[in-house]
């Protein structure tokens, strides 16, 4: 009964909060959809290391129920193999469904907002198998939550956020719990603060980090299977009215990963396309 309740909450509320329309490509950010707005995201994310390159296509869909509450789903697919640690910053094989709630929203002046968004979601194994150590595990659903706060303005953006994902056990196997965090700074130069009928550009410096717990296989903890990494890199977001293109690359600042278990990850990159379909619906008198 308890698990059913948790499951229901997870479905009602999301998990992953990356690469969505107005925000940075790797990091957590606060924007949610407008009421009745559909958003479609499709991107390619890559993680390259000593044991190969792993690509994932993150296809996402969101719908704004209210101006501050969005339901969303992410259906990634992967190809290539890198034998890399679990990541919730870069999409993997898990599909997710959930919701984001912008619970704090303070509009202080023209173009400026200070806001906070919480997300909760259900993560389920996708049809594809992982590679490496994670590929040998029986997979079970998990729950992912995140919290992010920050400022958006015409000139600068700052967001700080974190997320946690916990998977259930399946046949005495369990994927590692993952703690993710990010801090991002964005800037739009004054000569690019133009009309909305022109391309809107901004640049971000994205700092992300993840700690993954130990892998449990056949009831036993796999030695040296936990990992901690910190990544830094630039990204650029270009938007024309309701179409957004963003791309970014990150290099490692810190890696505490056993090379006997995983490949040594060297670079992360992403390109994401978004299409936003706004509603023209208005109430009558």
Partner 1 sequence: MKTTFALGFLLFTSLAAHAEYEQVNLTVFGMDCAPCAHAIHVSMKGIQGVNTVDVDLNTGLVAIKLTPGNSAAMHQFNEAVEKNGFTHKDATIIVRGQLSGSAQAPFLEVSGTKDRYALTPLASGMDLSGLLGKTVLIDGVLPQSGKGKVSDTLRYKSVTEAK
The window from 92-100, 241-249, 251-259, 260-268 that contacts partner 1 (CB under 8 A) reads: 241-249
Beta-bridged to residue 235, according to DSSP, are 204, 248
The window from 50-58, 102-110, 175-183, 263-271 that contacts partner 1 (CB under 8 A) reads: 102-110
The pattern of x and - marking residues 244 through 263 that bind partner 1 according to CB under 8 A reads x-------------------
Q: Judged by CB under 8 A, does residue 211 bind partner 1?
A: no
Select the residue interacting with partner 1 from 79, 103, 111, 254 (CB under 8 A): 111
Q: Given the complex with partner 1, which of 37 and 173 has the nearer CB atom?
A: 37
Q: Given the complex with partner 1, which of 151 and 170 has the nearer CB atom?
A: 151
Closest distance to partner 1 from the beta carbon of 90 (Å): 24
Q: What is the DSSP string of the chain?
A: -HHHHHHHHHHH------S-TTS-SSS-----PPTT-EEEEEEEEEEEETTEEEEEEEEEEEEEEETTEEEEEE--EEEE-------SSS--SEEEEEEEEEEEEEEEETTEEEEEEEEEEEEEE-SSPP-HHHHTS----EEEEEEEEEEE-SSEEEEEEEEEEEEPPBTTBBPPPEEEEEEEEEE--GGG---TTS-EEEEEEEEEEEEE---EETTEEPTT--EEEEEEEEEEEEEETTEEEEEEEEEEEEEEE-TTTS--EEEEEEEEEEEEE--------
Select the residue interacting with partner 1 from 36, 138, 166, 266 (CB under 8 A): 36
The pattern of x and - marking residues 143 through 182 that bind partner 1 according to CB under 8 A reads ---------xxx--x-------------------------
Give every CB contact of residue 170 below 8 A, 6+ residues apart in sequence.
137, 138, 139, 140
Q: Given the complex with partner 1, which of 134 and 184 has the nearer CB atom?
A: 184
| Residues 218, 170: Cα–Cα separation, whole Å | 9
Q: Given the complex with partner 1, which of 260 and 283 has the nearer CB atom?
A: 283
Closest distance to partner 1 from the beta carbon of 198 (Å): 8
Q: Given the complex with partner 1, which of 14 and 87 has the nearer CB atom?
A: 14
Q: Judged by CB under 8 A, does residue 32 bind partner 1?
A: yes
| Residues 112, 106: Cα–Cα separation, whole Å | 9
- In 3D space, the residue among 105, 190, 123, 117 whose CA is nearest the CA of residue 147 turns out to be 117
Q: Judged by CB under 8 A, does residue 104 bind partner 1?
A: no
The window from 88-96, 238-246, 252-260, 265-273 that contacts partner 1 (CB under 8 A) reads: 238-246
Site size toward partner 1 (CB under 8 A) is: 43
Select the residue interacting with partner 1 from 47, 68, 139, 211 (CB under 8 A): 68
Q: Judged by CB under 8 A, does residue 191 bind partner 1?
A: no
Q: Which residues lie near partner 1 (CB under 8 A)?
A: 21-22, 32, 34-37, 67-68, 102, 105, 107-113, 152-154, 157, 193-196, 198-200, 202, 239-242, 244, 276, 278-283, 285
């Amino acid at each position: 009964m308890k698990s059913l309740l948790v499951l229901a909450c997870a479905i009602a509320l999301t998990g992953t909060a990356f690469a969505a329309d107005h925000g940075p490509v790797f990091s957590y950010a606060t924007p949610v959809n407008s009421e009745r707005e559909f958003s479609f995201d499709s991107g390619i994310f890559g993680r390259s290391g000593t044991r190969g390159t792993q690509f994932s296509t993150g296809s996402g869909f969101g719908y704004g129920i209210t101006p501050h509450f969005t339901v969303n789903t992410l259906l990634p697919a992967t190809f290539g193999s890198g034998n890399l640690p679990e990541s919730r910053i870069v999409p993997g094989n898990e599909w997710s469904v959930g919701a984001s709630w912008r619970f704090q929203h303070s509009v202080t002046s023209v173009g400026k907002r200070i806001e906070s968004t919480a997300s909760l979601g259900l993560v389920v194994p996708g049809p594809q198998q992982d590679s490496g150590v994670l590929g040998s595990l029986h997979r079970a659903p998990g729950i992912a939550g995140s919290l992010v706060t920050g400022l958006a303005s015409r000139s600068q953006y700052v967001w700080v956020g974190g997320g946690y994902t916990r998977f259930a056990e399946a046949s005495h196997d369990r994927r590692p719990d993952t703690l993710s965090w990010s801090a991002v700074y964005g800037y739009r130069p004054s000569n690019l603060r133009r009309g909305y009928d022109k391309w809107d550009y901004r640049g971000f410096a994205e700092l992300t980090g993840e700690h993954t717990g130990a892998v449990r296989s056949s009831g036993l903890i796999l030695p040296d299977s936990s990992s901690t990494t910190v990544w830094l890199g630039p990204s650029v977001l270009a938007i024309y009215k309701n179409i957004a293109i963003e791309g970014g690359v990150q290099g490692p600042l810190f890696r505490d990963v056993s090379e006997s278990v995983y490949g040594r990850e060297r670079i992360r990159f992403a390109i994401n396309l978004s299409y936003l379909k706004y509603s023209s619906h208005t109430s009558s008198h």
